[in-house]
Chain A
Amino acid sequence: MWSKNLDADLQANRRYTAWAVRLLAPAFLLGALALYATFLYAPTEKVMGDVQRIFYFHVGSAWNAFVAFFVVFLASIAYLRTRRVKWDQLAVASTEVGVVFTTITLVTGSIWAKPIWYTWWPWGDPRVTTTLVLWLMYVSYLILRSSLPEGDQKYKFCAVLGIIGFINVPIVWMSIRWWRTHHPVVVTTSGMNLETKMVHTLMISVFAFAALYAVLLCLRTSMRLQERLTREMEVEVLAK
């Protein structure tokens, strides 16, 4: 029974590694293209000036962070239903990349907010605050993870948190939106009228981040699978 699982894990590991290699070139190209589009192709925004260019990376990482947490949610359900460790490894890899992407979102947002809204931290914007709460939830997921020994229990607990955290997102969003609309709103996010070239740039940037997410996800998942395989092989060798 052990060896059968080991075999399946080995194959899963090969698949993930293969995908990481396959996606590396597209990710690199899209990244280069996104850089070109952001700095050279996209026109300078009239009111905000060059600093607006941060918008493309800001939104690109934000959208993909949401995708990442959705993947955590799906993989967590899959783990609880099947108890296959590969789902857990996928969930944690996605959490890690998601947390990095949310951090990028928050930091770039902060840098953007300073010259535009004259504050590093625009509490008035519900999207910022919701992203912050997301960041808090998934960092707590990683903390939970680090305080448990390897094993089914750890994977189960993390899966439970991955599910509970994700279904909380709409409630957090609604409550924060109402909270802010009931206070005097100091800063507003007036709708930016995006030019066609800006929309192109945004799309490229979103896809670049999506490709980066996929590569990192595959790499982290295969890395975890390898760690596990090494441990299990050690156990098997010692048993013999």
Chain B
Amino acid sequence: MSPTRRLLDGLGLIWTLAEKDLRIELRSRQAFYTTLFFSFLILMVFNFAFDAANQDMRKAAPGILPGILWVALIFPGVIQLNRSFQSEREDGTLLGILLSPMDRGLIFLGKFLANWIFLVAVNLVTLAIFMAVYNFPLTSSTPWMLLLILLASLGFSAVGTLFGAMVSSIRTREVLLPILLFPIVIPVILAAVNGSTEVLLAENFRFLFQWIKILVAFDVIFLAASYLVFEYVVEES
């Protein structure tokens, strides 16, 4: 087989797996609404905690709103990442997927792709709600927010898919996943929050590219690392 053919086959397999997950989600819409509602809840609860919409507060602590936004974008993602392999294990479909003659790394990429698309979809709606309730007008810099969301959720779902697969066989998985995941994604949160502070407050974009660089580095490194070690996480011993 020619290399191009093999690449296309690989991509086809990845998409088949991702599409299966997305189709299940599209039909049940269970995780989408739960995750979105959780995000919305965080936006609201944090407003009560910090009085963040208050004009004086916004002037005094301009970094607070991007911070709230990213808590709302990142934390609820854990629901989906937990479910991703949990449902496969409960229905016994994981074994079927593992038995299929495909590279384990491709299975990872398929699951990752589904999680990523899911998270981006939830995040976009959350961003829209955030901008509406906190009065951020659409400006020419808004597309940068989309880029930050794409990059941040990529790294988050790469590590999250790996860890999600790992904890899915453990009894205390619901607690364990955030405990494992959050320390690792601290650079993502730092980069995303600081990047969006510049974008949302329409400052000069002095450091935005530095933060984007951090996100890209995190994404590339952890996508590759998770791809490589995934087989050890799912193999039955």
Contacts and interface: CB of A to CB of B under 8 A. Distances in A.
A168 B232 contact: no
B162 A164 contact: yes
A164 B159 contact: yes
Contacts of A144: 176, 179-180
Interface string A149-187: 001110011011101110110011011101100100000
Interface string A48-63: 0000000000000000
Nearest to B187: A175
A151 B237 contact: yes
Nearest to A141: B180
B170 interface: yes
A171 B194 contact: no
B211 interface: yes
A222 to B, nearest CB: 25
B28 interface: no
B217 interface: yes
Contact of A182 (B207, B214, B222): B207
Nearest to A182: B207
B221 A171 contact: yes
B171 interface: yes
Interface in B204-237: 207, 210-211, 214, 217-218, 221-222, 225-226, 229, 232-233, 237
B96 interface: no
B186 to A, nearest CB: 5
B170 A164 contact: no
Contact of B187 (A156, A165, A168): A168
B57 interface: no
Nearest to A134: B183
A116 interface: no
Contact of B176 (A143, A151, A164): A143
A176 B237 CA distance: 39
Nearest to A181: B207
Contacts of A156: 232-233, 237
Most chain A CB within 10 A, of B179, B190, B226, is at B190
B179 A80 contact: no
B140 interface: no
B158 to A, nearest CB: 10
A159 B235 CA distance: 14
Given A137-B184, A171-B218, 18 more contacts: A136-B182, A137-B183, A140-B183, A143-B179, A157-B233, A160-B232, A160-B233, A163-B225, A164-B159, A164-B225, A165-B184, A174-B187, A174-B217, A175-B186, A175-B187, A175-B190, A178-B210, A179-B194
10 contacts: A143-B176, A153-B169, A156-B233, A156-B237, A160-B232, A160-B233, A171-B218, A172-B187, A175-B187, A175-B191
Interface of B: 159, 162, 166, 169-172, 176, 179-180, 182-184, 186-187, 190-191, 194, 207, 210-211, 214, 217-218, 221-222, 225-226, 229, 232-233, 237
Interface of A: 80, 133, 136-137, 140, 143-144, 147-148, 151-153, 156-157, 159-161, 163-165, 167-168, 171-172, 174-176, 178-179, 182
